[in-house]
Amino acid sequence: MTDADFTAWLIAQSAVRCVLVEVTVDAGAGDITRYLSSIGYTTSPSDSPSNQFYSPVITGGIEFTETISQSNRSGLQFGDIELSNHDGSLDGWLDDVWVNRDVTVYIGDVNWPRADFRVIFSGIVADIDTRNRNVLNIKLRDKLQRLNNPLTSNKLGGSSSSADRLIPLAFGECPNVKPLLTDLPTHEYQFHDGASEGIIEVRDNGVPVVTTDYLATGKFTLSAQPAGEITTSVQGDKQSVYNLTAAKIIEKIVKDYGSASTQFTAGDIDSSNLSTFDAANQQSIGLYVSERMTVLDAIQRIAGSIGAQVVMSREGLMQLIKIDLPATGPVMNLTSDKMLENQLDIVSRTPVIASVKIGYCRNYTTQPNLQTGIPEDHKELFDREWITVTATDSAVATKYKLSDEPVQKDTLMLETTDANAEATRLLNLNKVPISEYRFTGFAELFDLRLGDSVTITHDRFGLTAGKTGMIVELRPNWMTSNITVGVLM
């Protein structure tokens, strides 16, 4: 079935919509799959799974929310599936374990073969609860929740005072980090738990020292007792190849770090999206982790450093999206005939800013008042945590009576040119008012995706000549064939 055929079916009055849910649950003797539906449905002998009955217990609308925000912290997709339990026959399900189990939701026609049904959500179960005695509610979250666990739990161990310290991790290039002392008698230090690309320099109280490097294990040893604090600038993780850009580091982290049971595979990643994003965003990144951090927090920090967000598609594939106006890519034209009457509203307006300050090239170990004989400009660098750049539009500052001393936005970028470019991009994006428009549309808009470019032409809000923006919110209701759309312009 083609996309056009599927959209035509969504619009058709004769469609008999059927939602299928396949959800994993531990019912006491290990994980099983429960097959649920909004209408009784049984697969044919040639389907996969064959001759499978989907119990008709789903009631109400099927709606999921997808969002991205200007704060560079994506809203996780979430939703709720309500199950009829008037007779109490499902009461026992409250004793089962649903948390963090896989769930996939499909939609199609009750008369279709199972293969023609479309995935409309692929994620995990947050839990099951009940709003009243007549229903159970399966609470859904997207797959990013799988990554909400520690990046690493590997500790040094042994009998030293550092036994309970996490072995650090380094991704990309990390300036002046404080490595973990792993063996006092041999003056051995570790900056990464695994193979690394290289050590740029090791310093004792800011003074470069000679070391013996063991890049296969992310370690080095000193030839003599240190006089003061040991720091090093390193090029980190290289389990296979050394990655320096956001998309490649993020992909590496979600595949190889965190709990083995929750790591992503190639089947969880939109490789085309990441490849396209990486080609357009080649900024050098560095992240050093020596304390507890989740996989989700790590990848959101990396993406946010270059103005992007990590999101999951409806099909459960990880993507990277950057809010930028005007939006790029193919443009869909939206007119009032594609919306419910009187449903277009402005739901938010962001304040104008006249200046953007970016912190970059983080000094991971600030060292004030160094007394060693290194150059004064080096001492100044070691004293500061961030190097900064600022982009300002004086005309906007005057017009809106704004201060040109902004709050600093800290990033993981390394290069001055990249920091200047990001400051300019953010200034150009925010030096004019930005509004989010929201409306309820019809089924032909179900193909819209977060980040898509659309032009809205309407007789309200100055849109009579049309204005182009970016999709930042989608809330399709698959049973009513309506969709709520949020557009940033």
**Alpha-carbon torsion (186, 191, 193, 197), positive or negative:** negative
| Residue numbers in the chain where pLDDT is lower than 50 | none
CB 389 within 8 A of CB 358: yes
Interatomic CA distance for residues 231 and 253, integer angstroms: 24
Buried-state track 352-368, b at ≥16 Cβ within 10 A, e below 16: bbbbbbbbbbbbbbebe
In the beta sheet, which residues pair with residue 410? 359
CB-side exposure of 241: number of CA atoms within 13 Å?
Answer: 7
Structure tokens at 425: 């991009």
Backbone angles phi, psi at 103, to 5 degrees: -145, 140
Interatomic CA distance for residues 46 and 434, integer angstroms: 52
Interatomic CA distance for residues 438 and 65, integer angstroms: 13
pLDDT at 159: 79
* Angular region, 184: left φ>0, alpha ψ -120 to 50, beta rest: alpha
Q: 143 in helix, strand or coil?
A: helix
Domains assigned to the chain: 3-143 (no CATH), 148-306 (no CATH), 331-350+433-488 (2.40.30), 355-430 (no CATH)
pLDDT at 80: 85
pLDDT at 76: 52
- Nearest one of 454, 439, 441 to 480, comparing CA atoms: 441
CB 368 within 8 A of CB 319: no
pLDDT at 476: 87
- Nearest one of 460, 346, 358, 338 to 413, comparing CA atoms: 358
Whole-model pTM: value is: 0.91
pLDDT at 61: 66
- Nearest one of 470, 98, 145, 150 to 318, comparing CA atoms: 145
Work out the burial of residue 149: count CB atoms within 10 Å of its CB; fewer than 13 is exposed, 13-18 middle, 19 or more buried: middle
**64-67 and 467-477 strand pairing:** antiparallel
Interatomic CA distance for residues 301 and 72, integer angstroms: 9
Q: 381 in helix, strand or coil?
A: helix
Interatomic CA distance for residues 140 and 158, integer angstroms: 42
Around Cβ 118, how many Cβ atoms within 10 Å? 18
Interatomic CA distance for residues 166 and 164, integer angstroms: 7
Query: 289-305 pLDDT, tens per residue?
Result: 999 999 999 999 999 99
- Nearest one of 487, 484, 474 to 121, comparing CA atoms: 474
Interatomic CA distance for residues 427 and 253, integer angstroms: 30
Structure tokens at 157: 């161990």
Backbone angles phi, psi at 39, to 5 degrees: -135, 145
pLDDT at 2: 86
Give me the amino acid identity at 359.
G
DSSP assignments along 318-371, one per residue: EEEEE--SS--S-EEEEEGGGB-TT--EEEEEEPP-SEEEEEES--SS--TT--
Instruction: Please name the helix (run of DSSP H) or strand (run of DSSP E) that holds residue 58, with its range, or none.
Output: strand 58-59
Tokens 């072995």 -> residue? 167
